[in-house]
Structures are given as structure tokens and as C-alpha cells.
Amino acid sequence: MAYPVSPLASPFPALPAIAGVTPHVVRAGYKDWGRCDLTYVTFEAGTAVAGVFTKNLCCSSEVELGRDNIVQGRARALVVNAGNSNAFTGYRGREAVEQIMDQVAAHIGAPREQVFVSSTGVIGVPLPKDKAREGVEKALTAQPCTWEDAANTIATTDTFAKGAAATAMIGDTKVTISAIIKGSGMIAPDMATMLGYLFTDAAVEPAFLQACLSAANLRTFSCITVDSDTSTSDTVLAFATGKAGNAPLTSFQSDGAHAFAAAVHDVCRQLAHLVVRDGEGAQKFIAVAVTGAVSDESARKVGMAIANSPLVKTAIAGEDANWGRVVMAVGKAGEPADRDKLSIGFGGTWAAREGVPLADYDEAPVAAHLKGHDISIEVDLGLGDGSATVWTCDLTHGYISINADYRS
């Protein structure tokens, strides 16, 4: 089923090609939706890989095998299936993934541990081996495609293709990152991306690439939520071909390492925001900024309690400045909070300061702010120097409509 494009959608950017990376798409027919549903990306030998994966204990075989494969640090291929998550499918699901890995590895002449597989879609249905075999066979000889084609192919309930790019200088060498992501529902830490892939021509050792991706994940993908549900399949992988020719980055002591890490964070932040902007049924993009917490982690937990509250999210959907619901969410977070030091605001206008509603509070500017698409909620706990920003969307009838008929 096709859904109306989110009012928060962003146009797909012009993503640069990455030397040593070639994307392809084909139709395997995992779901009867008349479009390509298998993405196949090849990497030249020596490509480094890093990854972060869902913490859902009922994860897919793709996630389990990906965690195992990431340890060896190199990649030659990526296969992404859309329409079937292949999660909660036991040995049959694992056999399907291993079949894909073996088929691709034999074709490109690489160890199967260097073939990464992701799947997304309905849970509980084994990935059909015959369709997988035929789909991969077509993909192995398919013509290269655009990044936008690849982004559309990995989508499920997404209403627009999502991509981001950034550059960094490593010494005198310019390196580029291009990235795509899919995600719209079942979005919550840890981590919360559904499926995302970063591709760079930088020369980066696997351990440092992992450090950069893990650090970026903590401040981006693990700070978003659409519906508080952590997927069985969430995966973000980063691939570095080294074709830019820079001196390899091995640690933060390497020349240009901080610039590269900042570029990775920038791309991850862009992608994370795009996922929230395409939240199922979303009409509002909400930033929750928490300050004055006892620690940054405490601030993040308070922010997530607010961002996951159905009462807060529906109030924003109804453009209702019901700051009492924010107070409630702060109090239920399980983190240090003092009612008499708490301050709440919307769009830069404080409604209450240090536990007391402001006598001169004017709701008019807040009401005007809530009519927009980009909403901010400010919370000052007044306890310390900890701070964090998390991002979510409102909760509308559209979310119910999409998920009530998802399998059909």
C-alpha cells in the first residue's frame, strides 16, 4: 500500500558517487508491490566495515550474522531485502541468509563473512529461498543504479527516499560520505534506525571506523523515537573503501581524525532526523531539549520519557500547549527531578519556571508555534550540568491507519 508523502518530507539530495562502491537494485518479489525490493552493493577489496545493531533480544538472523561478521572488519558486498524482515523464523530464516551469503561470496570470490545481509518488513515469515536465489542471481548481473534508486528499494512504509552526505579534509585530501536509510515506524533506541548505510572513500582502519560510528549512534540514532518500539532488524553499517588515498585513520591521534568523526556524526544526525520526519502518520517534527540534569545520560532518559509519551505526542498533534503532560513525563522517567526546580517551555517561551506557572505566561506565541511543522519543547531540571536533545514526532490517526493494515 502506498501512503501519502509526509508533510515533513525532504527532497532526496544529490549524493556523490563513492569510489569503490557500486549499488544495484532488482525485483525479487518478496512482496506484491510492483517495484524493486532487493538492493545489492559491491565493494572493492580492502573495504573496512563497522556496524551497530538492534538490542532487541528477538532479532533476526541477519542481525546475528552481521554481529559475527563485523568482527573481521572487512566487506565486499551488501544485500538488503525489503518486504520481509525474516525475523522470528528459526533455522529456515538463518538458512536463507546463509544461502544469500554463499551465493554472493562465490560470485565475487570473497569469504562469505565479508557479505552482509539485512532484511526489513513483516516479522514471522521466512525469507523464501527460491525468491532469494533468483533475486540475487539477477542482482549479480544488474546494471549500476543511483543512490535514490537504492534508497527507494530498501523502503517499506517510508513515504520518501532518505539520503545524506558530508565531506571532511584529512590532511590535504578531501573525503566524502554518502548515506541512505529507511525507517518510518517501529523506531526507538537502542538503536533506532531500522536500516541505514554509510559509504565513504576515506581510508579508515575498522576499529576507528567502529569508534566513530558507535559515538555518532549514541547522539543520533539512539536519541530518536517514533513509537517506542525497538525493531528486530535495526542495523547501521559503515563502509570505507580507502580510495580517496588519504593516510589511513587509525585513532583520534591521526591527522584529520576529528574532522572525519564530525562528518560521520553529521551524516548520522541528518539520517536520524529524516527517519523521524517520516514517522508513520507524522505531522510534526519535535525536538525535546533537556538541560539541568545530573548527567547527560539522565537528561537523555528524561527526554525519551517525554518523547515516548502518547499524551505528550497527541497534545502536540492537537496543537495543545498542555505542559502538564510534560511535567508528568519528567516525573515518570525514573531519573532525578525536583518539582520545585522544574521549568517547562515551548518554542522558546517558558510556561513555568522553577516549579511555578508564570504569572505573565502568554499562550498566544506558544499556540502559534504549535501550528508549525517543527516544534521544540524545553525542559530545565535545575539540578546540574547534564543536557541532551532527543527527537520524535506527533501521534496521529495516520499512525493507527498505517499499522492497522500493515500486513495487507
pLDDT at residue 244, as a whole number: 98
pLDDT at residue 166, as a whole number: 98
pLDDT at residue 2, as a whole number: 62
Q: Minimum mean pLDDT among 86-95, 233-242, 247-256, 331-340: which range? A: 86-95
Given pLDDT bands bounded at 50, 70 and 90, which one contains residue 401?
Answer: confident
Given a cut of 80, whether residue 82 has pLDDT beyond it is: yes
56 appears as a binding residue in the annotation: no
Are the C-beta atoms of 26 and 135 separated by less than 8 Å?
yes
CATH 3.10.20.340 boundaries in the chain: 285-405
- What is the identity of the amino acid at 359? A
Residues 54-80, mean pLDDT to the nearest whole number: 93
Q: What is the pLDDT of residues 260-274, one digit of tens each?
A: 999 999 999 999 999
Spatial separation of the C-alpha atoms in residues 305 and 200, rounded to whole Å: 35
pLDDT at residue 229, as a whole number: 65
Q: Report the 10 Å Cβ neighbour count for 377.
A: 23
Given pLDDT bands bounded at 50, 70 and 90, which one contains residue 187?
Answer: low
Residues 362-386, mean pLDDT to the nearest whole number: 96
CATH superfamily of 21-278: L-amino peptidase D-ALA esterase/amidase (3.60.70.12)
pLDDT at residue 55, as a whole number: 83
225 appears as a binding residue in the annotation: no
Given pLDDT bands bounded at 50, 70 and 90, which one contains residue 124?
Answer: confident
Q: What is the pLDDT of residues 19-32, one digit of tens each?
A: 999 999 999 999 88
Given a cut of 50, whether residue 408 has pLDDT beyond it is: no
In sequence order, the 6+-apart residues with CB closer than 8 A to the CB of 354 are 340, 341, 342, 343, 382
Given a cut of 50, whether residue 370 has pLDDT beyond it is: yes
pLDDT at residue 406, as a whole number: 52
Q: Could you give the C-alpha distances from 119 to 123, 196, 251, in angstroms and in order? A: 10, 12, 32
Are the C-beta atoms of 51 and 213 separated by less than 8 Å?
yes
pLDDT at residue 123, as a whole number: 83
182 appears as a binding residue in the annotation: yes
C-alpha cell at 277: 520526519
Annotated active-site residue in 193, 220, 241, 396: 193
C-alpha cell at 346: 515551548
Q: Could you give the C-alpha distances from 297 to 60, 137, 292, in angstroms and in order? A: 28, 46, 12
Spatial separation of the C-alpha atoms in residues 183 and 154, rounded to whole Å: 9
C-alpha cell at 259: 574532522
pLDDT at residue 192, as a whole number: 46
42 appears as a binding residue in the annotation: no
Given pLDDT bands bounded at 50, 70 and 90, which one contains residue 185?
Answer: low
Given a cut of 50, whether residue 8 has pLDDT beyond it is: yes
Across the chain, mean pLDDT equals: 92
Fold exhibited by the domain 285-405: Ubiquitin-like (UB roll) (3.10.20)
Given pLDDT bands bounded at 50, 70 and 90, which one contains residue 282?
Answer: confident
Given a cut of 90, whether residue 188 has pLDDT beyond it is: no
Of residues 137 and 7, which shows the higher confidence score?
137
Q: Could you give the C-alpha distances from 398 to 259, 405, 407, in angstroms and in order? A: 40, 11, 16
pLDDT at residue 186, as a whole number: 53
Given a cut of 90, whether residue 14 has pLDDT beyond it is: yes
- CA 1 to the chain's CA centroid: 22
Given pLDDT bands bounded at 50, 70 and 90, which one contains residue 399?
Answer: confident
% of the chain residues with pLDDT over 70 = 94
Residues 273-301, mean pLDDT to the nearest whole number: 94
Q: Minimum mean pLDDT among 103-112, 183-192, 212-221: which range? A: 183-192
pLDDT at residue 315, as a whole number: 95
CA–CA–CA angle 149, 119, 67 (5° rounding): 120
Residues 401-407, mean pLDDT to the nearest whole number: 63
Given pLDDT bands bounded at 50, 70 and 90, which one contains residue 333?
Answer: very high
Of residues 191 and 301, which shows the higher confidence score?
301
Active-site annotation holds for 193? yes
SS3 of the chain: the string is: CCCCCCCCCCCCCCCCCCCCEEEEEECCCCCCCCCCCEEEEEECCCCEEEEEECCCCCCCHHHHHHHHHHCCCECCEEEEEEEECCCCCHHHHHHHHHHHHHHHHHHHCCCHHHEEEEEEEECCCCCCHHHHHHHHHHHHCCCCCCHHHHHHHCCCCCCCCEEEEEEEEECCEEEEEEEEEECCCCCCCCCCCCEEEEEECCCECHHHHHHHHHHHHHHCHHHECCCCCCCCCCEEEEEECCCCCCCCECCCCCCCHHHHHHHHHHHHHHHHHHHHHCCCCCCCEEEEEEEEECCHHHHHHHHHHHHCCHHHHHHHHCCCCCHHHHHHHHHHCCCCCCHHHCEEEECCEEEEECCEECCCCCHHHHHHHHCCCEEEEEEECCCCCEEEEEEEECCCHHHHHHHHCCCC
Given pLDDT bands bounded at 50, 70 and 90, which one contains residue 151?
Answer: very high
CATH 3.60.70.12 boundaries in the chain: 21-278
Spatial separation of the C-alpha atoms in residues 58 and 400, rounded to whole Å: 24
pLDDT at residue 191, as a whole number: 47
Given a cut of 80, whether residue 398 has pLDDT beyond it is: no
C-alpha cell at 226: 517514533
Are the C-beta atoms of 26 and 36 separated by less than 8 Å?
yes
Spatial separation of the C-alpha atoms in residues 390 and 395, rounded to whole Å: 16
